[in-house]
Homo-oligomer: A and B are copies of this chain.
């Protein structure tokens, strides 16, 4: 469990107690040592860019996106999170991005501790935090590389392979998000996303039994396309 490489479980039950409980005062309506369960309907905002980052979240079920909105309405999606992932753990005082429910979802909300205090007292905790930050850095770096100097086809192929790796079945990908979400993650338009997927289907690299269900027929060819 401890050694797997996905975001899942980087905060173990033991650590959850430390993160959420040890340095917290009294709070009438929460159980600080376990966090608070909350549900969000599709497209509801979980927290918003610029708000005070007093809590972080662990996703129990569903899918979440973190994003930023530019002045003219353009939206950029920084990351998608799935069950088991931690998100919203800021090291500053305010959220740098908004978080929204891609699907109906359930989260556990934890009050944030003072990091410097915590880090002084518990090395296990600081290792969890370090693991979180390191994985976050790797993820953001990979995203930057996916966005830079890459054609629509290369971005799309990379995106499909990412989800393929997260999927229990390497060659079946179920997308929780809309074409618009994919477009905003890859910095493309919905039309280009759609055209690129259609092209892949014409080339027999994938099947599209339904819009959100994708069968990867030729993983090796996708790898080549991802450059």
> Which residues in A have some Cβ–Cβ distance to B below 8 Å?
68, 70-72, 74-76, 78, 91, 96, 115-116, 119-121, 123, 126-127, 129-130, 133-134, 136-138, 140-141, 143-145, 147-149, 184, 187, 227
Chain B proximity of A113: nearest CB distance (Å): 13
Closest 4 CB pairs of A and B: A140-B140, A133-B133, A148-B187, A137-B137
| Residues of chain B contacted by A149 (CB below 8 angstroms) | 70, 74-76, 184, 187
Q: What distance in Å separates the Cβ of A183 from its nearest Cβ neighbour in chain B?
A: 9
Q: A71 touching B227 by the CB < 8 A rule?
A: yes
**Would A130 and B119 count as touching, CB distance under 8 A?**
yes
User: Which of A75, A91, A121, A147 is most buried by chain B, counting CB atoms within 10 A of its CB?
Assistant: A147
Q: Which has the most chain B C-beta neighbours within 10 Å: A74, A115, A116, A136?
A: A136
> In the complex, how many angstroms separate the beta carbon of A203 from the nearest chain B beta carbon?
20
Tell me the minimal C-beta distance from A118 to chain B in angstroms: 10
Q: Which residues of B lie under 8 Å from residue A75 when comparing CB positions?
A: 149
Q: Which chain B positions have C-beta within 8 A of A136? A: 133, 137, 141
Q: Are B130 and A126 in contact (CB under 8 A)?
A: yes
Q: Are the CB atoms of B119 and A127 closer together than 8 Å?
A: yes
Kindly provide the distance from the CB of A13 to the nearest chain B CB, expressed in whole angstroms.
Answer: 20
Pairs across A and B, CB under 8 Å, 9 listed: A76-B145, A91-B134, A119-B123, A119-B126, A133-B134, A140-B141, A140-B143, A143-B144, A149-B184
